[in-house]
Amino acid sequence: MSNDLTNQMWKDFMKVNPNAPKSYEAWAFGDSKEMADELAELVVKGIKTATASNYSLYEENEPLPYVGLHNIVLDGDGQAVAIVKTTSVEIIPFDEVSEEHAYLEGEGDRTLKYWRDVHEAFFTKELREVDQDFHNKIPVVCERFEILYKN
């Protein structure tokens, strides 16, 4: 990850948003360079305004996102491409994620069927790595965000 460029983006953002929080998280979507690039591009274009993650993995490793959290989205090379702010967080069973949320994630044809197919495969892979099984009631962290700044 290019920390210098990430830090510079944050400094530039703070110049025009002096009341923003003093801290941020920086991360890339997905589990591959290609996925990170594709999803970062959707964010920059304003198509992707939501994301979903596996709740059970937060319990062990990191705190949950919260409203007002500022994040720097990285591409597959670890380059900062945008700053987003979390606007809502809900924990919902996998089979209750809405068509609206699937659409806001901006991926594929933006349908709930596409969302379920892709996320079931992704979550199954993640869960397998921690010796857990996927099921339709796994809790999913559904997060919405707005883009505040981009390169």
The residue extents of the domains of the chain are 3-150
Task: Kindly indicate the confidence band of residue 148, based on its pLDDT and cuts at 50, 70 and 90.
Answer: very high
Q: Ramachandran region of residue 68, left (φ > 0), alpha (ψ -120 to 50) or beta?
A: left
Question: For 25-34, what is each residue's pLDDT tens digit?
Answer: 899 998 899 9
Question: What is the percent of the chain where pLDDT is above 90?
Answer: 85
Q: How far is CA 90 from CA 3, 45, 58, 93, 108, in A?
A: 30, 24, 14, 10, 22
Contacts 24+ apart (CB under 8 A), 116-125: 119/52, 119/94, 120/94, 122/30, 122/31, 123/54, 123/94, 125/31
pLDDT score of 1 more than 50: no
Tell me the CATH number of domain 3-150, given options 3.90.110.10, 3.40.1280.10, 3.40.50.620, 3.10.400.10: 3.10.400.10
